[in-house]
Amino acid sequence: MTFVPGTALEFFAGIGLARMGLEAAGWKVVFANDIDPKKLEMHKGHWGDDPAYRLADVFDIHHEEVPSAELAWASFPCIDLSLAGNRAGLSGASSGAYWGFHRLLAQLGDRRPPIVIIENVHGMLTSRGGADLRLILSGLNELGFTVDLLAIDAAHFVPQSRPRLFIVGLADPYLLSGDPVGESPIRPQSVLRFRQANPEIRWGLLPTRSLPRARPPLDSFLEHFPPDADIWWSPVDTAKLVSQMSAKHLAAVEALRPLSKLSHATVYRRVRSTGCMAEVRLDGLAGCLRTPRGGSSRQFVLEVGRGDIRARHMTAIEYGRLQGADHFRIEVPFNQALFGFGDAVCVPAVEWLASEIRLAVGQYSGGLAVA
C-alpha cells in the first residue's frame, strides 16, 4: 500500500464541510471532487481558489488524477435513499453516483486508501429492504476492507437533529475486530439488527470513546434581531403560520407568550393529508437542515414572549452555525447558501469520527504500515 500518512480525499465535497472536520482532526485534504458549480462557488468564497478541487462528474475522473492518500471520504447524494425521496436506491440517478466512487477505489489498486468513510442518511439501512447497504458493504469487503456501521446524530455536538449513518472501512482487519457488546448511541438497535441479519458481511468494530453528552443551547446559535427589524414577518403572515399549528403545539407556544423571558423554537411546514401543518420544535433543537427545494424544506424561527409571537426565516449564518461551520464566509445569495449548508455534513461530527479513527490507527502498532 502506498500513501502519504495524514492525507485525505474528499468525494462529493460540496462546500467543504467534511474537509473542515477532517482538517480539524489533523488530516490534510489533498483532493476534492464535486459536480455542482454553485457549491464550488460557495467553496471558493470560504477556501479561495483550491487547485485540489476537481469540478466534474465522479464517473469522469480518471484514477491517475487521484493522489495517493490515507483516507477517502464520500458523502454521496442521499435523495434516492432518503425516506423523503423516491427510494430508487443506488439505481437512482443521484445516489447511483456512489458507483463512480467505488469504481475509483477499485482502480486505485495498490494506491487505494486504507481508510474509507462513507456518510449518508439513516434511510440507507432500509433502502430497497437493505439491499443497497449490503451492496456497498460487500463491495468494500471485496476491495479488502473490514467494515463497521455507526450512527451519529449532530445533536450530540450542536442543537440540530441530524442523524446520519457512517460506514467505516479499514484495510487492516486488526483495527476492526470483535462484535458489539450491546446497544449504544453509535450502534442503536437498527444498526445491530442490520449486522445480525447480514452475517456474510466481514464486520469489525472500531474502538471509540463516548459521544459528547452536552451541547450548546439553541439560543446561542441564533442571530438576535430587535422586534422592529425587517427580517420579521408581517403580523398577517405570522398569524397564518400560527393557524397551521396543531392544538398541542399551539398550546405550548401560547403558554410562552405571557412570559417576560423570550423563548425560541424552530418550525417546518409539512404537507399532510389534512393540509399544511406548521410543526414546532420546543425541545431546544432545530430540525434537520434541508436543501430549499420546496416550501416545506425551509426552516423558520419563532420568538415568543413578552406578549408577542414573531416569526422569520432561519438565516444562512444560522444554517452554517448549526452545521458547526460558525465562521464560514458566505459570499453567495441566500437560497444558494441554504442549499450548500443543507446538503452538507455537520463539522464536529466529522471531526469526532476522524479523530477516533486517528486514535485507533495510531494505537495499533504505531499506525498503518506505509509501503
Whether 100 is covered by a domain: the verdict is yes
* In a shared domain, residues 205 and 228: no
| Judgement on whether residues 143 and 271 belong to the same structural domain of the protein | no
Q: What is the mean pLDDT of residues 287-293?
A: 86
Residues 203 and 265 in one domain: no
Whether residue 295 is found in the same domain as residue 176: no
For the segment 98-133, what is each residue's pLDDT rounded down to a tens digit? 899 999 999 999 999 999 999 999 988 988 888 899
Residue 2 lies in a domain: no
**To 5 degrees, how large is the angle CA 147–CA 148–CA 151?**
145
Is the same domain home to 359 and 210? yes
CB 338 within 8 A of CB 157: no
**Residue 23 shares a structural domain with residue 127:** yes
327 within some domain: no
20 has pLDDT over 90:
yes
Question: Are both 348 and 202 inside the same structural domain?
Answer: yes
In a domain, 245, yes or no: yes
Report if pTM > 0.85: yes
Express each pLDDT in 69-102 by its tens digit. 999 999 987 765 655 555 566 666 667 788 999 9
Q: Are residues 124 and 188 in the same domain?
A: yes
Q: What torsion do the CA atoms of 177, 179, 184, 185 make, to the nearest 10 degrees?
A: 50
How high is the mean pLDDT of the chain? 90
On whether residue 321 sits in a domain, the answer given is no
Same domain, 76 and 143: yes
Total number of domains in the chain: 2
**Sequence-separated (6 or more) residues with CB below 8 Å from residue 5:** 70, 367, 368, 370
Asked if the structure places residue 87 within a domain, the reply is: yes
pLDDT at 345 (0 to 100): 97
- Determine, yes or no, domain membership for 237: yes
Domain range spanning residue 230?
Answer: 224-314
Tell me the pLDDT band of 223, cut-offs 50, 70 and 90. very high
Which CATH number goes with the domain that contains 128?
Answer: 3.40.50.150
Residues 299 and 353 in one domain: no
Residue % of the chain over a pLDDT of 70: 91
Residue 283 vs residue 1, higher pLDDT: 283
pLDDT tier, 236 (very low <50, low <70, confident <90, very high otherwise): very high
Look-up: residue for cell 466529522? 350
Are residues 186 and 60 both part of a single domain? yes
Is residue 53 one of the residues assigned to a domain?
Answer: yes
pLDDT (0 to 100) of residue 127: 83
Would you say residue 36 has pLDDT above 70? yes
Check residue 83 and give its pLDDT.
54
Which letter, b or e, does each residue of 210-235 get, where b requires 16 or more Cβ atoms within 10 Å of its Cβ? ebeeebeebeebbeeeeeeeeebeee
- Claim to verify: residue 233 and residue 200 sit in the same structural domain: no
Strand order in the sheet with 28-34: 53-55, 28-34, 7-11, 71-74, 115-121, 163-170, 146-153
